[in-house]
Structure 1
Amino acid sequence: MINKKVFPPKEMELKKSNISLRELMLILIGFIMGHASLFNIYPFGLPFISSIILKDKNKAYLILPVFIGTFTGVKNVNFLWKYGLAYIIFTLLILTFKKEINIKKWLLPFLCSASIIMGGLLSFLWVAPSYYDIILLILETLLSYISVIILSEGLTFFYTLERGNVEKLIALTIISGSILKLIGNTVFFGVSIKNLIISAIIVFSAFARGTGEVFGYGVILSLLAYPSSLLPWALTFYSIAGCFASFLKKYGKIGVLAGFLIGYGIYHYYIGLRSVNFLNYQSLILILIATFLIPEAVIKKLENTLSLNEESSGDINILKDMINTQMIELANTLEEMGKIYKYPIRDGNLNPLEDSILKIKNRICRDCALFKACWDRDYKSTIADIFKLYTAKEVFLDGDLPRLFKVRCGKLEEIYRFIKMDKEKNELKKVLDAMVREISDISFEKVKHFASCLKMLAKKGIDENRYAEDLKEELSKEGINVENIIIADEGKGYSYYIIKRPCMGNRTCEVKIMPFFENAFIKGADMLKVDCPLRSGKEKCRIKIVPRSFLSVAVGYVNIPKEGASFSGDSATFFETVGGQYYMALSDGMGVGEKARNHSEKTLLIFENLIESGYGLEDAIRILNSAMQVYGSGGDSFSTLDITFIDLSSGMAEFVKAGAVSSFIKRKDKVESLRGSALPIGVMDGINPVRIRKKLMPQDMVIMVTDGVMDSIKSEGDKEEKFIKIIESIKTTNPQEFAEKILKKVLEGSEEKRDDMAILVGLVWERKN
């Protein structure tokens, strides 16, 4: 979004397309399901796709990762033809009967089975089948039909998780998988502890929760706990056993255990001795005893602790603390590694003169007949005369020479040439050493600043729901304590889901919470009680707050380089965050041209990434300042930063200026200027940008400019006053036209030599929720 011209107002909100965590998990599990085999057949790939399409026909693209999983697993060429044809036939059947599939739910399992049997029959044209192959194909067809029915219910949990619970699922499974990996292949009295724990989780969750979460635990714990060589077997066993156990849970503990044993039997019956035996008889007996002895209340409490739908964020906080600790340790390690740049590059035991004397002695004089006379009997005189020759600024062979060389030295010319070359080499070394020291100092500073950035990132922590935390803090000041706030983007606007303890009859919802949001939002809000404990008897109160209207921002942007330059050093960015905040930012890189542009673009890119990662505005600016010190160390590079932050629910705006010129707010015919003076980004360690808060209303316009615009205004008086008159004279409400007209009017009366010029205009407008 950097340095981009903008569009008409209704198309201003840039919606980013990204793959959700849920879809990534489906793609991964699809690959695994396609790869999972039973006795050299692959009966789960097409049933998996069928079960997904039953829930969402737009997920047909999962055919590709599932087929890749099957393709990478098949070792037999004939089987490759069989499954390749089956996938092609299935795709054609889906395209042919796509309308009927939505109406006739039985049709998709039938098409899946038909694809497998048709692919198998066609593959028999290449290789004549045996009776065993025909029987195996029939069994695979029946198994695929049953698998579609099982998986269509087993995968329901991917579509019923509330917003944010996929993240909790990942955190939970990471912790569980870490414990299981720590246990490893530990065996105690013939019992595999890891297999026993996973089986117990499957049985307990089947009893307390149901098919969806059992399948989820079976798939995800298998992915984490077992190596790739055992993964297909683990996935098959726990999925089948868990699903059968949950189907029979209505008959109580006996039904769950019977279902688990049926799944265990089916697994071993179809796979036989080729499979991996995850549970021996001792393990089965322990699971039976534990299930009967543990009270149902304890099982339910344990399952609630492991539940995928619990709102508590404790596990995530633990995970964040672990990550933060590791980041701080990494920063300390980097800081220690950076000290390497302070160590001397070469051994400094010998100075250049000593080194030269040794080389003359060993390389030139060693084979001379007078070697012993010079280096043994007259050692001091020899050293003294070499020193005189070495330190002389200029030596003439036919002029004044040290006594030794005049009287008896037969290798004078060779020694002279060596000393001359050695002196030149040492002078060059001094220059190079100075350059290396300078580069080392710069590198050390870069590493030190980078380590500082890492520490700041870790200490501040990434909070993906930062705005929700701010709301909790504001509610707390009003005496309203809530456990969690979830902000959901529901297409036309945002809704706020609040979870708190019951009111106990004091009607906190109506008396305190509703008035708070009435005042916070532009035109008030409506409240819906999703679950009231006074009526339902549950432990938590759940409220949905829907603002009656929201603000949006349409943006216009123009940017031209300095006269004679190919690149503008000014850059801009604008984006909306998940929590309903809008950011507009300008940056002016020092100087002009490509170097200035790169610096300003880098400033805005890091800023945008920090905000979208969940950092608050103040923390993002501090981290950005340290990051730009790393980027610009060793030179005089810096950038100004001009930010406008708008809360789209309340209209509150904050203007942050670091080395930037004034910004302006136009409301109807009145224009207000917002001035700031502070150091640019990346100049020094501490930075205190100017921060101004204002309340914006629909149809307000925010005008942000770089110093090149203000400097280009030709005026004998106050240039800012003349610029305000320019803004007042423009009547259009289209932000792009507004920015272009400002630029045109400024250029009409500009000075002869102008700088880079960038203008960013934001129109605040109202949208109904």
Structure 2
Amino acid sequence: MEKVERNLIEPIGDVNFDRPKLEFAKGIMKFQSGLETFFIKKGYLLLIIGFLLGRALILAKLTPFCLPFFAAVYFIRRDKAPLALVGLVAGAATLSITNTVSAFGMAFLFLFTFRIAKKWLKHELRALPFFVFFTLLGGGLLKTFILTKNMTLYDGMMAGVEASLGFILTLIFIQSIPLLSFSKRRQSLKTEEIVCLIIMLASVMTGTIGWSVYDLSVEHIMSRYLVLLFAFVAGATVGSTVGVVTGLIFSLANVTSFYHMSLLAFAGLLGGLLKEGRKIGVAAGLFIATLLMGMYGEESANLLKTVLETAVAIFLFLLTPQALSTRLAKHIPGTAEYAAEQQQYMRKMRDVTAQRVAQFSNVFQALSKSFSSYDEPSEWEEEEKDRELDYFLSNVTGKTCQSCFKKDHCWARNFDTTYAYMENIMSDLDENNGALSPRLSREWEKYCTRSKKVTEVIQQELTFFYANQKLKKQVQESRRLVADQLRGVSEVMGDFAKEIQRERENHHKQEDLILEALQDFGIHIEQVEIYSLEQRNVDIDMTIPYCQGHGECEKLIAPMLSDILGETIVVNSEECSTYPNGFCHVTFRSAKAFTVDTGVAHAAKGGGFISGDSYSTIELGCGKFAIAISDGMGNGERAHIESKETLQLLQKILQSGIKEKVAIKSVNSVLSLRTTDEIFSTLDLAMIDLQNAGGEFLKIGSSPSFIKRGNKVLKIQASNLPMGIIQEFEVDVVSEQLKAEDLLIMMSDGIFEGPKHVENFDLWMKRKISELKTNDPQDVADLIMEEVIRSRSGSIEDDMTVVVAKIKHNTPKWASIPVHSIRQKAN
């Protein structure tokens, strides 16, 4: 706690000291924001790119970049198309007047034809490359004819090549321009988008061909800088790709630059392999590639010039701010920055989801408090009872005393006496089932001239009064039940919100240690992901190569993890590969301290196929095991449906995480409200904690259960009405600590009350259970069923169900395997 406070207090004392740094950082951010606004939002970056593409040549003659770039900008950012056109025309003007007129004329011809044909186009994006193709083809042929007054096959072929390049470049620019046009792009770049971006950047750099500074070629410097940047950001794969693509584009623009493709590709590969050395390592890769290609390549005579160009590119690369490379890396899959960006996004989504779930939890909690507030005793309850009594007497006097000549005598002069008499009559009629006691009757006749009339009216009004009281009580009970249900839902949602918000702990060190220990043992592990190392709640996922069904996860990996973590670890789930070269995904979890084996025997009345009894064994996700038996009223299909639906509803509510009491009350509420028929169900529920073998038993109108512990037989019984009779009832929970090798025997009333000519069913059942010579759950269930049927001479008078559960210590199948190396490294 002191450390946390110190970390919080120390920065406050250094505010004045760090103020210049903060001001400088703010200035840098403001400057970057201004640059983004100027170049990206206002579109002046398109002007610069257009200028360079207007100068770019292919085969020292063709200019296929102008029209595809203008068409792509016109389609994507139509408001910035004039800026792009100005840049293209200005760039073409640096070459010749012919190129200037050609660039402007091609753009005008494209706009003219595209705007006319736009009315009949359904998919403009699909048609755009074809418009560029035919515009370049027609414009190129027209340009050649105007300049030479002659048309040869060579001129037609060159026009076709230029148009084909324009077709391809249009598709490339359509994908790459959005990457340069928007300042905030959260999506990751696809491989095709990365290649398109590289082609566009290389095409732009061809516009610098012929530029030199102190006899150093600008295009060589910029191309090597581009390779350095991408090799540093994305590694050898992308770096070599950038080198090949950039070198190819430069080779098409200038045939003498063909050897640069080999240099750039080698530099990208070598720099990406040395990426772990940060910028120095990537720069060393380019320098080594330059020396090797310069000494043994075609440019050995100009080695010094090539080295100087590389040195300038390295200098520019070292000056590149870390923010630029980090920002670029966030959009390229496979980089650490991209993974961190995705993790941050997922964390944000998790926090938003947890916040919304917590808000819903608060809403349900508030609703629960709103409903339960009416059940709390308050001062106005007594006033409300007095007011109801006043209304009751007002109704009586309105039908009797209002027309009586002694009204003033009784109510004006002797109000308290008259009120007390009527109150006594009311309570007397209630206690004597509508009959008035002789003494009170005589006194009332002496006091009131209309005694019989008043008594009859009181009897009539009492019927309505108590009906109203009963209705209010039912409403209050329903309100209390709704409050409990809302509170249970609120608790579940609150726990769920906390579970969502619980960030996965950083277990990278433990993952590496486990991975190293298993690999040292000779087991190849592809990936280890640790989600929890909490005691008795370990959760580890692994990806391993296909093991050909040898079961090494259960036999080797789980025992080694048991020794490493100090508790028993077992295979929770395993998804094996369907082909030999694939991978298997395995989940390891903490083993439970106890397990439960069950056996069931059941029979329908008269040997039929449909039984009114239903049973279920449910392993809940919270480390508990539930056993339930439900007996629908009567026999046959209707009773079977009632008992089955009771268990299905209970199972879904329990699996949602709601407490047992609230779950049973919810089921009872549904059963009591969904039908007016007198169809009821019993429920016998046992919840067993698999960590400590603690048992909780909830019996709703069900038969007793028995626990066989050695030679002792314990009885478990609770008294509750069957479900569906009343809307509100208190659930009695009986707790019992179970032990290993205990047998839990649960049965329906067909088994418990089945023996014929037996006066005490408890003693008979205890004796039969104590006489059992086997501890196998299924054998015990079959023997008890057989004894009951034999006592009835083979007849089955009622539906019968018996479920037997045996509690056992969870002994792992495989012993732990000691791993010493990981213990030494951990220490």
User: TM-score if structure 2 supplies the norm length?
Assistant: 0.36
Higher relative contact order (CA 8 A, sep 6+): 1
Relative to its length, the structure with more helix (as a share) is 2
- The TM-score with structure 1 as length reference comes to 0.38
